Structure 1
Amino acid sequence: MTCKFTNTCTIHNKNLTLFDELSDEEKKLVEENTLTVSYKKGETICKQGSFASNVMHIKEGLAKVYLESETNNLILKIAPKNSLIGMPSIYEGNNTAVYSVATYTESVVDLIDMKVFQQLLKTNAKFAFRALNIMNENIIQIYGRFFCISNKQLHGRIADILLCLKNRVYKSNTYEFAFSRSELAELTNMSTESVIRVMKNFKDDGLILQKDKTLEILNAEMLSKISNLG
């Protein structure tokens, strides 16, 4: 039996229906205990090890979820619009954030009070079931991402990210490329020099066209073959 993971930067970007399971009274409770904050590119939304006071809903923008160490960061996933992050911090006896979150672009984030979110998980079974589904989808995505990083060659990793942005984040062949070379290197677990070389190869081969901050996918079929073959 074979298992194939592709395009694993983020789970499929679909409408967040979690809060549809709440009653009008519960929705009002959430609204009264939610703070909406605008963040600039590169700002930290949540710091690993800090007090976990909120569950975060990305209303607009793009962010990264990552683990920090003294030497480098490990990117767990990209969080596009409609992502819900911070739920792994909700377990018995924990009161700290288990990862950091920072913006790739200007973003708008709803900060939902953690205690209110926990209360709804305990009292609304349908809400809790939807939340569990979201967490499981994220876990599967992270498994797939690490599989690809550990098994794919350099060209396959870059192709994987470019297609993920095309298919799951921007849903367009042409999109704003919000990543610096160092950020793309961090995301793909590659050196900056390797990223520059692979991106140049893709451009010279007619697979992509990059101008200023815009990237266009010219040959998605070939990028998909590169991603699948690794």
Structure 2
Amino acid sequence: MAKFTRTDNCKNCVDCNKKIPLFQLLSQSELTDLNTSRFEVKFKAGETIFKQGTSATHLLIITSGLAKFYVEGVQERQLIIRIVKPWEVVGQASLYFDNRHHYSVAALVDCTACFIEIESFKKMIRQNSAFAEEFITQCTQKGVFSYEKMVSLSQKQMHGRIADGILYLSKKIYESNQFSLHLSRQDIADLTGMSKDSAIRILKEFHHEGIIELDGRNLNVLNTDQLERISETG
């Protein structure tokens, strides 16, 4: 069950100023104002943080742990858009549209999340042009990532999509060739747009071909060049 709390990990927005480049553009008084409209919640692995279709009143910053950002489609199937790491701002799509979440966010591991009131965040955008410009830049980067993902899902074969998924996890999320997966096999399937059985089969093929080493949740990328070739050829 989610718990409201204030921890040493997230005492106030002034502390976050040291960890989030976006917040470094705010003045001391602006950070103090932002701090009055925020709260912190702890989530257990598997718990829902945002639910698609619900009213959006706050932006989210994961301060510890990992979460999956996904959309719920036909017949309750999920498509994981990306993995959310600490200090990423989530919820921008709800700022100036219809004040609803068009995606869900769920904890992959035990997480701590800071919620910032949308109206307070919009106030910072209106009064601080440097903050607004950096925020727009970050939104644009996420948009470009989504375009690239659409190309992968719509134009690549399953082997290319699995290769893309492994490279994404290795380079962007865990930043290592060897890591312990916090995603289930179903999550990997949802990340790469295929059935669970297909994802498991291709992972086993990569393992037997010496491209990766897979032992339970432990994954080791043995041949990055080969993965990149598979990604490029689709």
TM-score over 0.5 for the alignment? yes
Aligned to 1:40: 44
Q: Is the 8 A contact 2:48 2:107 kept in 1?
A: yes
Give the distance between the partners of 2:231 and 2:206, measured in 1 at CA: 12
1:192 aligns to 2:215 (yes or no): no
Q: How does 1:77-92 map to 2 (within 5 A)?
A: 77-91=82-96
SS in 2 for 1:49: coil
Give the distance between the partners of 1:169 and 1:221, measured in 2 at CA: 19
Aligned to 2:223: 219
Of 114, 119, 141, the match for 1:115: 119
SS in 1 for 2:99: coil
How far did residue 141 of structure 1 move?
0.4
1:75 aligns to 2:108 (yes or no): no
Aligned to 1:142: 146
1:205 aligns to 2:209 (yes or no): yes
Aligned to 1:17: 21
Number of residues of Structure 1 aligned to a counterpart in Structure 2:
215
Q: Which amino acid aligns with 1:84?
A: V
How far did residue 91 of structure 1 move?
0.9
Gaps of 5+ in 2: 1-18
Aligned to 2:169: 165
SS in 1 for 2:151: helix
1:57 aligns to 2:58 (yes or no): no
Q: Which amino acid aligns with 1:125?
A: S
SS in 1 for 2:79: strand
How far did residue 70 of structure 1 move?
4.9
Q: Which deviates more, 63-72 or 101-110?
A: 63-72
Q: Percent identity?
A: 34
Q: Is the 8 A contact 2:25 2:131 kept in 1?
A: yes
How far did residue 151 of structure 1 move?
0.8
Aligned to 2:134: 130
Q: Is the 8 A contact 2:80 2:187 kept in 1?
A: no
Cα RMSD between the aligned structures?
1.4
How far did residue 110 of structure 1 move?
1.2
Give the distance between the partners of 2:64 and 2:119, measured in 1 at CA: 24
Q: Which amino acid aligns with 1:76?
A: I
Q: Which amino acid aligns with 1:87?
A: Q
Give the distance between the partners of 2:194 and 2:73, measured in 1 at CA: 17
SS in 2 for 1:74: strand
Q: Which amino acid aligns with 1:209?
A: E
How far did residue 164 of structure 1 move?
1.0
